[in-house]
Amino acid sequence: MTVTTDSYRARTSAPAPAKPLVLALHGTGGDEDQFFDLAHQLVPGAGVISPRGDVSEMGAARFFRRTGEGVYDMDDLARATAKMIGFIELQRGIHPGHPLFAFGYSNGANILASVLFERPALFDRVGLLHPLIPWQPHPHPGLSAKPVLITAGLRDPIAPWSATEQLIASLGTMGATVNSELHNGGHELRPEELAALSVHFAADA
């Protein structure tokens, strides 16, 4: 089902009994279809929530604005983070009692990370695929023991490994349970990353 709420145009499906919800967040230029079917494959029987970013960058959908590669409009990121929190709370209210898993790729990973730092209790498991977090997040007690998977390319020109390594260390310092899946390529998603994400979600599915 494709719906338009006051916040996002989104493609959604309801979970089977006792199955989780999966929030799927696309990268720059993607849309609500990019990871919808993948989310169903990752967690069979899950409900899927896949919103389209509300910002256009020369026609490419994103979840928040930037002024250059890796240079974020932090005011707009704050706006987008609050908006995404409201959207997730609405979806959780529609399907009470179901765990929420979430994953995002590139720009989707970045908005997901921002929400995670603000409201970790919204999520049961999180996957950040090729994130780039160029700000220092504040510690949050709700991150303690939160299961987080981070995937990355060691030669990624968009999300450099040095920044990803710092994010992994920061989350670990905050008490999150962090696992990683790395490959020798760039910004592309590889099958081993998706396999790791499937295992990550299967732990509680």
114 labelled catalytic: no
Reading phi first (left if > 0) and then psi (alpha if -120 to 50, else beta), residue 14 is in beta
Structure tokens at 161: 């490994």
pTM of the model: 0.94
What pLDDT, in 10s, does the model give residues 78-95? 999 999 999 999 999 999
**Would strands 125-129 and 100-105 be described as parallel, antiparallel, or unpaired?**
parallel
Given the residues 26, 98, 156, 200, the one annotated as active site: 156
pLDDT at 67: 82
pLDDT at 138: 87
More confidently predicted of 6 and 85 = 85
pLDDT at 6: 58
SS3 annotation, 104-164: EECHHHHHHHHHHHHCHHHCCEEEEECCCCCCCCCCCHHHCCCEEEEEEECCCCCCCHHHH
DSSP 63: S
- Domain range enclosing 63: 2-202
Given the residues 26, 106, 114, 130, the one annotated as active site: 106
Cβ of 185: how many Cβ atoms within 10 Å? 13
pLDDT at 205: 62
Summary mean pLDDT of the chain = 93
The count of C-alpha atoms lying within 13 angstroms of the C-alpha of 66, restricted to the half-sphere facing its C-beta, is: 18
More confidently predicted of 58 and 204 = 58
Taking the C-alpha atoms of residue 91 and residue 13, their distance in angstroms, rounded to an integer, is 11
More confidently predicted of 58 and 41 = 41
Q: What are the backbone angles phi and psi of residue 160, rounded to the nearest 5°?
A: -60, 145
Given the residues 40, 95, 183, 187, the one annotated as active site: 187
156 labelled catalytic: yes
Read off the CATH number of the domain in which 50 is found. Answer: 3.40.50.1820
7 labelled catalytic: no
What is the rounded average pLDDT of the residues 159-184? 96
Taking the C-alpha atoms of residue 78 and residue 29, their distance in angstroms, rounded to an integer, is 21
Angle of the 74-94 helix axis to the 107-118 helix axis, nearest 10: 80
- pLDDT at residue 49 greater than cutoff 70: yes
Cβ of 131: how many Cβ atoms within 10 Å? 25
Q: How confident is the model at residue 7 (pLDDT cuts 50, 70, 90)?
A: confident
Number of structural domains in the chain: 1
